[in-house]
Amino acid sequence: MLKSHLQQSTKSLIPWSTKPFIFSREILVFFPINILSNKNPRKNQKKNNFIVHYKAANSTKAVLSSTKKSMGVKLVVKVQKSVGGTNFGLSRGLDDLLGKSLLLWIVAAELDPKIGIEKPSIRIFANRGRDVDGETRYEANFVFPEDFGDIGAILVENEHKEMYVKNIVIDGSPHGKINITCNSWVHTKFEKRIFFTNKSYIPSQTPSGVKRLRERELVTLRGDGFGERKKYERIYDYDVYNDIGDPDGNDNGKRPVLGGKQLPYPRRCRTGRSRSKKDPLSELKSNFVYVPRDEEFSEVKSSTFSGYPFYSVLRAIVPALETVVSNSDLEFPQFLSIDSLFNVGIDVSRQGNKKKGMFDVVPRLIKAISDTQKSVSLFETPQLLQRDKFSWLGDVEFARQTLSGFNPFSIRLVTEWPFKSKLSPEVYGHPESAMTKELIELEIGGSMTVEEAVQQKKLFILDYHDLLLPYVNKVNELKRTVLYGSRTLFFLTHEGTLRPLAIELTRPPIDNKPQWKQAYFPSTWNATGGWLWKLAKAHVLAHDSGYHQLVSHWLRTHCATEPYIIATNRQLSAMHPIYRLLHPHLRHTMRINSFAREVLINANGIVETSFSLGKYAMEFSSAAYDLEWRFDQEALPQNLISRGLAVEDPNEPYGLKLTIQDYPFANDGLVLWDTLKQWVTNYVSHYYPQTILIESDKEIQAWRSEIKNVGHGDKKNEPWWPELKTPNDLIGIITTMIWVTSGHHAVVNFGQYIYAGYFPNRPTIVRTKMPTEDPTNEEWESFLNKPEEALLKCLPSQLQARQIIAVMDVLSNHPPDEEYIGEIIEPYWAEDPVINAAFEVFSGKLKELEGIIDARNVDSKLMNRNGAGVIPYELLKPFSEPGVTGKGVPYSISI
């Protein structure tokens, strides 16, 4: 009677959920304590007094007195404290009063061999215990039946406030210490969360006792595709980019939907928000943008984590800068005024933007001047300016950065001559280039003909002509921005460096004006030609900056990766080895992408107001996706081959011969690529020793199919999608994804402030047309009399420049808790001896890469990374200290 009374009393005091349990058979473990006592309930616990309650399916309840041996086992649940140090969950006093905080079910890995159904689960309560190293621990001691077998999973039901569960440790079982990595939010009673053990299984090898749970969890994560998503949900689903615009909030806020036949685009995570009243195709803006709960980092990571300063600077610093500059179109009066941004600063204390914690979040941007008690925006001097203040004016640095800057993905080998546009002549004018054979041979210096230069692989090009030309007339109708189609031609010298030969700028016909195009050339002996060349370079650099930000950076890393994240969570179980291989590379990206859609690439956001393409920026990225993006060419070797920068050669390291031997991005990138591929090869080969295991893996096949047909569904019929029939196929696919999220993103992101912090070196927008494009007499005379003023007027305005510098600074910053590739092993990998050994090799190779890069940077023969005033190429060094360092390769796209 006492035992029955205890059970009855407990259920009447605690309002357990009335939902049916997932399991039909369970063992209930209770502690022999008075839960209303103020005494510490753990003091009187005795292992031999535990009561085990057995609940059989479709039967009456009965108390078992098992004669089989059992063991006393301890369970600890580690819960992360919030950023401010407050514990998630109930207050200590109420926890002590109730004697429990978490309800857990321990699930056997295998079915009962005698009757072929799931074994009874062990149901226990975990009490709140100590706070240790920023964690709150919930503890339980319970009886572990000898015949229970291996543990397959643990179900967690949270009784109280949402909490972030880091891991669960079971110590004292017959199988030794068991670690279950969670790293997940557990909401209040909305579902029983399933956490599998750290041992990985492909579907065909799943232990029989957790097969149903494996399938059930995936069903939960997929959702049903209906309704607006709530903050606590973990549902992954697809949608088009219909949330860039804000038609209800701004007359100039409507933007086309990206995704579909007209504007192909990758898919983003579905939020299910209501539709706009003015534009039913667009989502309504709101203060909350859903991402699946486990993609959130802001309440768990410290305030120095990447997402915090990114969001803070755009929400706080940028508006402050707007109030400092009274005229948003005002240019800098002289270049000394630009220099003063880095040694004088501007007072923002009077702007009322001293929000709590803001100055701690972005310390590089805001300096407290103690003697004046002012808060001053004082930007750090970029490394480019520190090393050579005038390098940005020269052609050497202009050319070098195509190979060693933060956009080394655009330079291509010239394989055809003469250049000819593929666009319609009726719409865009004559297709022939203004770069004629005679003009180019004059620039080459008579050493060879153009045909010989092409044959000898001496000519290279930045070609934005046909990609930009359809947007030129539309953009030029906007206020204070000018666009052309452009080609920039380079010659490979015998020293292995590039020398600029010519720039061509084109404007298509408009109204009654015919097509305009002109070629410009370097000129050191002609003052007018020299200034026209400087202005032409500014236009090309703005084109390259726009392409870098919208295509090389946003589209090819952030945007293209989001479908991989969605498919991985929808189709691969959390116990799948490929899920666990990819997971560190997919962390935090969805949240940072949602931030970008709110304040960076949104209508009238930073990109639209400070880059040349204006409100057509995202349409342009769609055009680039349609014309250029191919999954197979996102792999570094295939990307280099596609641009003519390498050819296959089995006698060369990594099987490739580079067209430009001193190509720092390719030189270092191929070492990193090979290191990644070897790690992935060892990992995949361990779990897929036979080809049949790939073909029979229904999860991995569904994953590949969903990425192709849904996530990148606008390109589903392309013939270049890789097959997935063998382990080698999978190795290629996974290596490509990991490269994109790590090496590729590091290259295009973490050098931005170094090179673009001093914006004349990399202007993001040009605001005036070339002086030679249909000038009036007054315009031409003004240029001749004050060419420096013409250059200053064409560069970004004071407001645009300050905003871009601030954003570049934050984007280039590594937080103190950055997660670098290969630095710390994932718990899942560490518990498998084979994978643990492979990771040690992987980590060691990355450390070797650090030394390789250091050695290359001091080699005087490598002039694209060494020389007077030259910035060493370190963007692919795997590790870094915090801050803007121009090095460090994180696991994932987290900024």
Residue 205 has pLDDT above 60, yes or no: yes
Determine the Cα–Cα distance for residues 60 and 7; give it in Å rounded to an integer: 14
Task: Return the structure tokens found at 304.
Answer: 């120095």
pLDDT number for residue 250: 80
pLDDT tens per residue across span 818-828: 999 999 999 99
Q: Which residue has the higher pLDDT, 770 or 447?
A: 770
3-state secondary structure of 459: strand
Instruction: Give Cα 520 to chain centroid, integer Å.
Output: 38
Determine the Cα–Cα distance for residues 518 and 538; give it in Å rounded to an integer: 15
CB within 8 A of 241, min separation 6: which ones?
257, 258, 259, 265, 268, 597, 618
Task: Return the structure tokens found at 42.
Answer: 């753990």
- Residues noted as catalytic: 553, 558, 745, 749, 895
pLDDT tens per residue across span 217-235: 999 999 999 999 999 999 9
φ/ψ region of 176 (left if φ > 0, alpha if ψ in -120 to 50, else beta) reads left
Q: Which residue has the higher pLDDT, 305 or 418?
A: 418
Residue 56 has pLDDT above 80, yes or no: no
pLDDT tens per residue across span 661-703: 999 999 999 999 999 999 999 999 999 999 999 999 999 999 9
pLDDT tens per residue across span 129-146: 888 888 899 999 998 888
pLDDT number for residue 162: 87
Residue 181 has pLDDT above 50, yes or no: yes
DSSP 513: B
- Cβ(139)–Cβ(75) under 8 Å? yes
Determine the Cα–Cα distance for residues 486 and 518; give it in Å rounded to an integer: 10
Q: What's the average model confidence in pLDDT over 476-484?
A: 97
- Cβ(123)–Cβ(27) under 8 Å? yes
Report the candidate in 78, 81, 102, 209 with the shortest Cα–Cα distance to residue 153.
209
Residue 194, strand partner residues:
155
Determine the Cα–Cα distance for residues 454 and 359; give it in Å rounded to an integer: 54
Burial 219-254 (b: 16+ CB within 10 A, else e): eebebeeeeebeeebbbbbbbbbbbbbbbeeeeebb
Determine the Cα–Cα distance for residues 775 and 599; give it in Å rounded to an integer: 38
Determine the Cα–Cα distance for residues 77 and 166; give it in Å rounded to an integer: 8
Cα–Cα distances (Å) from 6 to 9, 10, 31, 35, 101, in that order, read 5, 6, 9, 10, 18
Residue 207 has pLDDT above 90, yes or no: yes
Residue 55 has pLDDT above 60, yes or no: no
Determine the Cα–Cα distance for residues 111 and 120; give it in Å rounded to an integer: 10
Report the length, in residues, of the chain. 895
What's the first-to-final CA gap in the chain, in angstroms?
Answer: 61
Residue 62 has pLDDT above 70, yes or no: no
pLDDT number for residue 345: 54
- Residue 159 pLDDT level (bands cut at 50, 70, 90): confident
- CA triplet 380, 547, 458: central angle to 5 degrees? 100
Q: What's the average model confidence in pLDDT over 352-364?
A: 43
pLDDT tens per residue across span 378-412: 688 999 999 999 999 999 999 999 999 999 999 99
pLDDT number for residue 115: 94
CB within 8 A of 137, min separation 6: which ones?
76, 77, 78, 79, 128, 129, 130, 131
Report the candidate in 408, 378, 738 with the shortest Cα–Cα distance to residue 587.
738
pLDDT number for residue 316: 57
pLDDT number for residue 368: 37
Mean of all residue pLDDT scores within the chain: 87
Task: Return the structure tokens found at 434.
Answer: 């203004």
Q: What's the average model confidence in pLDDT over 108-115?
A: 95
- Residue 832 pLDDT level (bands cut at 50, 70, 90): very high
Task: Compute the chain's Rg from CA coordinates.
Answer: 31
- Cβ(858)–Cβ(716) under 8 Å? no
Task: Give residue 591's identity as a one-letter amino acid code.
Answer: R
Q: What's the average model confidence in pLDDT over 725-746?
A: 98
- Cβ(355)–Cβ(316) under 8 Å? yes
- CA triplet 861, 862, 863: central angle to 5 degrees? 100
Q: Maximum distance among all alpha carbons in the chain?
A: 107
Determine the Cα–Cα distance for residues 447 and 524; give it in Å rounded to an integer: 20
Determine the Cα–Cα distance for residues 343 and 336; give it in Å rounded to an integer: 10
DSSP string, 645-676: SEEE-TTSGGGEEESSS--HHHHHHHHHHHHH
- Residue 324 pLDDT level (bands cut at 50, 70, 90): low
Share of the chain above pLDDT 70, in %: 83
Q: What's the average model confidence in pLDDT over 436-453?
A: 95
Q: What's the average model confidence in pLDDT over 529-546?
A: 98
Task: Return the structure tokens found at 764.
Answer: 């993001």
Task: Give residue 137's identity as a one-letter amino acid code.
Answer: R
Q: What's the average model confidence in pLDDT over 403-431?
A: 98
| Bond prior to 418 in cis (omega within 30° of 0) | yes
CB neighbourhood size of 633 (10 A): 17
Q: What's the average model confidence in pLDDT over 11-21?
A: 32
